[in-house]
Amino acid sequence: MNVDLEDFQANRRQVSVASDQSDEIGPRLHHLRKGRGWTLQDASKASGISASAFSKIERGELSPTISTIQRIARGFDMDVVSLLSDPDAQPTLLGRRSVTRASEGKPHLSGNCDNKLLCAELKNKRMTPIKTRVVARDVEEYDVWPKTDAEIFMTILSGTVVVHSKIYEPLELHEGDSMYYDASAEHVWTRKGPEEAVVLWVLTS
Amino acid sequence: MNVDLEDFQANRRQVSVASDQSDEIGPRLHHLRKGRGWTLQDASKASGISASAFSKIERGELSPTISTIQRIARGFDMDVVSLLSDPDAQPTLLGRRSVTRASEGKPHLSGNCDNKLLCAELKNKRMTPIKTRVVARDVEEYDVWPKTDAEIFMTILSGTVVVHSKIYEPLELHEGDSMYYDASAEHVWTRKGPEEAVVLWVLTS
DNA sequence: ACAAAAAATTTCCTATAGTATATTTTTTGT
DNA sequence: ACAAAAAATATACTATAGGAAATTTTTTGT
């Protein structure tokens, strides 16, 4: 496990160095073509794109359509994604207890939300999991906007929630969406749409 | 009308010959937009691409250029590669905040589970949220039983999961159930029953 | 260094991507 | 069930992608 992780990291370092920049296909294509010792006509023959177009694309004089990119990828025998991505990326990470059943949870009313603390009987936890039914429909319904130095992970179990913050634009989240943020800036949640909105969230303690 | 349509299709057929790929961005974009509850005008405003063009792209009537795709990706707060690589499309990060949409998450295969790291591009988090499809049906399928000094909070999004540990009896958890435990004792998960089992879990880092 | 050949770029053209607006279709409220 | 509003699609146009061939630049052999 440790070994794997280190291998991976070493690998990553070396890969990302070799493949330079981010989102300019032109230089990448040029590099790729030259790397294979291909002329523009070779590339043209392989991809079905004219040499002139290829030249323009490489020099950024022309923004290829996705179908052209697909044909080029084909010609280079690679998939579109690896053609466009600098192959670094890919993050890593890869193992007393308390159970709360679906219908349970310690109720904890607060302001405009109906909270249930999960696994509350376990003390000295490093995280606090909470399930909340968001009631407020408008930010006006909040008197205070909470603010702590904790970090929050939240995921939407049902409905639509809008996250409001002093430093970001309002952000709409739907069922299955997740968000991670630090709560040092004031923030509140409102719900939206017909269904009830339920959020499962965990905060560091 | 019929004439136009046929004209168009004939036209397109000849153009797309080699290109029309298994990877269609159209439906993907449509799904993405709908997933956020956006109208075409919302998408247009966010990306700077006209609603009509967006509509055509979604329906495959038009092959967008890479620069258009880049603008769309921007509007959706994701990078181009994720937008094109679909099921594991990857999200948004603006400062100390990170969003993972329902269909997204960085894939990370490990042993007997199919993991998706949520909000992975945010570094130095105090918690690591992960969504896992539990594949193993029997503890025999595990070679090693992981063990760390982290704490784990888990909740069952669907299916039935059995938690095995060296120090407790196996414990069955169903959809909506939650559990908090420290992972200093070896433990593994197996699934049970016909449905696929999906666990959302968070570990301290 | 020069001519010939090969590769890259430019030109000029056609096909299609993308825009603004009109129209149709779907949703919403009564 | 209907009218009004909102969303999606079609139309007509402009801007630009992409192709064939001409031109320029670079390479190669002598």
Q: Are the beta carbons of A179 and B119 closer than 8 angstroms? A: yes
> Which uninterrupted H or E stretch holds A108?
strand A106-110
Q: Are the beta carbons of B44 and B51 closer than 8 angstroms? A: yes
User: What six digits make up the tokens of A159?
Assistant: 């409905």
pLDDT at position B81 is: 77
**Spacing of A79 CA from D25 C1' in Å:** 33
Least confident segment among A39-48, A185-194, B49-58, B128-137: A185-194
**Pairwise pLDDT comparison (B17 vs A124), residue with the higher score:** A124
Q: What are phi and psi of A157, to 5 degrees?
A: -85, -35
Between residues 108 and 167 of chain B, which touch chain A (CB distance below 8 Å)? 108, 110, 115, 117-122, 125-130, 144-148, 150-153, 155, 165
**Pairwise pLDDT comparison (B24 vs A97), residue with the higher score:** B24
Tell whether the model's pLDDT for residue A92 goes beyond 50.
Answer: no
pLDDT at position B143 is: 60
Mean pLDDT of B82-92: 53
Q: Do B181 and A97 touch (CB under 8 A)?
A: yes
- Kindly state the DSSP code that residue B28 receives in the 8-state scheme: H
> Which uninterrupted H or E stretch holds B29?
helix B25-35
Chain B touched by A95 (CB under 8 Å): yes
Measured CA to CA, the distance from residue A124 to residue A145 in angstroms comes to: 26
pLDDT at position B15 is: 27
DSSP assignment of B31-86 equals HHHHHTT--HHHHHHHHS--HHHHHHHHTTSS--BHHHHHHHHHHTTS-HHHHHSG
pLDDT at position A57 is: 93
Q: pLDDT for B93-118, tens place per residue?
A: 344 556 666 555 555 545 455 667 78
User: Which of B19, B66, B179 is the closest to A71 by Cβ?
Assistant: B19
DSSP assignment of A22-63 equals SS-HHHHHHHHHHHTT--HHHHHHHHS--HHHHHHHHTTSS-
Residue of B14, B103, B126 best to disrupt the A interface, most CBs of A under 10 A: B126
**Spacing of A195 CA from D3 C1' in Å:** 28
User: Which of B101, B108, B173 is the closest to A94 by Cβ?
Assistant: B108
Tell whether the model's pLDDT for residue B129 goes beyond 70.
Answer: yes
Q: pLDDT for B139-177, tens place per residue?
A: 666 666 666 778 889 998 888 888 887 777 778 888 888
CATH code matching the domain that covers A24-84, chosen among 1.10.3720.10, 1.10.260.40, 2.60.120.10, 3.40.50.620: 1.10.260.40
Terminal C-alpha separation, chain A: 29
CATH topology of domain A95-204: Jelly Rolls (2.60.120)
Tell whether the model's pLDDT for residue A25 goes beyond 70.
Answer: yes
Q: Do B119 and A153 touch (CB under 8 A)?
A: yes
Residue whose structure tokens are 């961005």: B25
Sheet containing B171-173: order of strands: B171-173, B160-165, B187-192
User: What six digits make up the tokens of A169?
Assistant: 């634009």
Residues of B 54-73 whose CB lies less than 7 Å from any atom of strand C: 56-57, 61-65, 67-68
Q: Where are the domains of chain A?
A: 24-84, 95-204
pLDDT at position B76 is: 82
Chain A touched by B28 (CB under 8 Å): no
pLDDT at position A151 is: 87
Q: Are the beta carbons of B155 and A99 closer than 8 angstroms? A: no
For residue B13, give every residue at least 6 positions away whose Cβ sits within 8 Å of its Cβ, in sequence order, or none. Answer: none
pLDDT at position B37 is: 74
Q: What is the pTM of this model?
A: 0.53
Mean pLDDT of B45-55: 91
Q: Do A118 and B173 touch (CB under 8 A)?
A: no
pLDDT at position A107 is: 54
Q: pLDDT for A152-195, tens place per residue?
A: 899 988 888 888 877 777 788 877 888 888 877 777 888 876 66
Q: pLDDT for A123-159, tens place per residue?
A: 778 898 888 887 766 666 665 666 677 888 999 888 8
Tell whether the model's pLDDT for residue B71 goes beyond 80.
Answer: yes
Q: How confident is the model at residue B17 (pLDDT cuts 50, 70, 90)?
A: very low
- Fold match flag (A24-84 vs A95-204): no
Q: Are the beta carbons of A198 and A159 closer than 8 angstroms? A: yes
pLDDT at position B98 is: 64
pLDDT at position B57 is: 92
Min distance A25 CA to chain B CA atoms (Å): 9
Tell whether the model's pLDDT for residue B89 goes beyond 70.
Answer: no
Tell whether the model's pLDDT for residue A40 goes beyond 80.
Answer: yes
Q: pLDDT for A50-68, tens place per residue?
A: 999 999 999 999 999 999 9
